[in-house]
Amino acid sequence: MSEIVLKQVSKSFGVVNVLDKVSMHIESGEFIVFLGPSGCGKSTLLRMIAGLEEVTEGEIHLGGRRVDQLPPSERGVAMVFQNYALYPHMTVRDNMSFGLQNIGTPKAEITQRVDDAARMLEIEHLLDRKPAQLSGGQRQRVAIGRAIVRDPKAFLLDEPLSNLDAGLRVRTRLELAQLHHRIKATMIFVTHDQTEAMTLATRIVVMNNRQIEQIGTPMEVYARPATRFVASFVGSPAMNFVPVAAVADMGGKASFTFAGQPPVQTAVPFAGLPATGLTFGIRAEAARISQDGTGIQGVVDVVERLGERTLVYTRLPDGTTLVAEDKGVSLIQPGETVHIALDGHAAMVFDDSGKAYHAVA
């Protein structure tokens, strides 16, 4: 078993608190992604699990054993760094086998493990090359291979794709997903890229301002964000936010009115909603350009033609920007006045503290 349990983990550098009472339970075999903006504490948390940073308060357990007081070499984890951290004077084979040699692994076993990992990552033909002779993607595969040969309880990956170009990032991301499917190991992956999080994760841990905002599957985090921060950080384009002028009870469900616009009926329960300080939230795919002249009204500022769909950036009468979606072959032009149909069943609302109120599931 390689489950990881964090209990009220905190980290301070002097008087600066960078993580505040973080708790989570990672099941054996999960692919967990720590997602958040720069400075939120996600890399520090990963380094604490690896043993590269000391825990100020709290406990870390791996496979049923407390490990936060153990040195990194005794924790049973392997880390893959952003900058690959390969020895330039060693061949690929030597880089992958170096850690095993240091702990006295028999030579025949080392050869077998390196060959198996190289075959899995399709880098057998690179074993006699040195890092300078490799592309960025090949170096990253070697770094992952070096972790695989250790047969760790958990893999810890700190933004391993950030040094790759866009096309190579996509290919390597797919390779990581396939690798996880094959070896079924526990993996923790740190990134600020929400596309990587959505495509790789079993569950996403969204972090902000030293704490966890939400833990959930990619679609839970996307469709039912716990806070306004999560709603704004996950998804491209970001969720639309429109100030609510008034809220009414329509058969137990909330109807929202914006400045100078007709009311929008939703599936959000009216009971328990604050009377003021509300912000309406909706994704672009649930805000469609209306062909029959119904819905709220806005003026087109920008049109993004993406092939399979068109994103239309509109300006509402109160000055709020709302991104709507139109068909791929759209004739809309900047400056036009358009009507937008909002899917009330996909809408949500946030109070002034950022807490989300959702439609009944």
pTM (2 decimals)?
0.89
Tokens of 122: 């399709």
Ordered by where they begin, the domains of the chain are: 4-226 (3.40.50.300), 240-358 (2.40.50.140)
At 112 the three-state DSSP class reads helix
At 107-132, the pLDDT tens digits run 999 999 899 888 888 889 999 999 99
The amino acid at 296: I
Confidence of residue 51 (pLDDT cuts 50, 70, 90): very high
Q: What percent of the chain has pLDDT over 70?
A: 99
At 137 the three-state DSSP class reads helix
Return mean pLDDT, the chain: 91
- Give the whole-angstrom CA distance, residue 202 versus residue 84: 24
The amino acid at 72: P
- Give the whole-angstrom CA distance, residue 45 versus residue 173: 22
- Give the whole-angstrom CA distance, residue 83 versus residue 142: 12
DSSP state of 227: B
- Give the whole-angstrom CA distance, residue 142 versus residue 134: 10
At 329-355, the pLDDT tens digits run 899 999 999 999 999 999 999 999 999
At 164-218, the pLDDT tens digits run 777 878 888 888 888 888 888 899 999 999 999 999 999 999 999 889 999 999 9
Q: What is the mean pLDDT of residues 146-150?
A: 86
Q: Bridge-partner residues for 341, per DSSP?
A: 288
- Give the whole-angstrom CA distance, residue 302 versus residue 312: 6
> Residue 8: what pLDDT?
96
Four-CA torsion 324, 330, 331, 335, nearest 10 degrees? 20
At 136 the three-state DSSP class reads helix
Instruction: Write phi, then psi, for 3 (nearest 5 degrees).
Output: -70, 150
Answer yes or no: are the C-beta atoms of 160 and 50 closer than 8 Å.
Answer: no
121: left (phi over 0), alpha (psi -120 to 50) or beta: alpha
Whether residue 81 has pLDDT greater than 90? no
- Give the whole-angstrom CA distance, residue 5 versus residue 59: 8
At 111 the three-state DSSP class reads helix
Answer yes or no: are the C-beta atoms of 261 and 304 closer than 8 Å.
Answer: no
- Give the whole-angstrom CA distance, residue 202 versus residue 189: 11
At 286-329, the pLDDT tens digits run 999 998 888 999 999 999 999 899 999 999 998 999 999 999 88
Q: What percent of the chain has pLDDT over 90?
A: 64
Whether residue 1 has pLDDT greater than 70? no
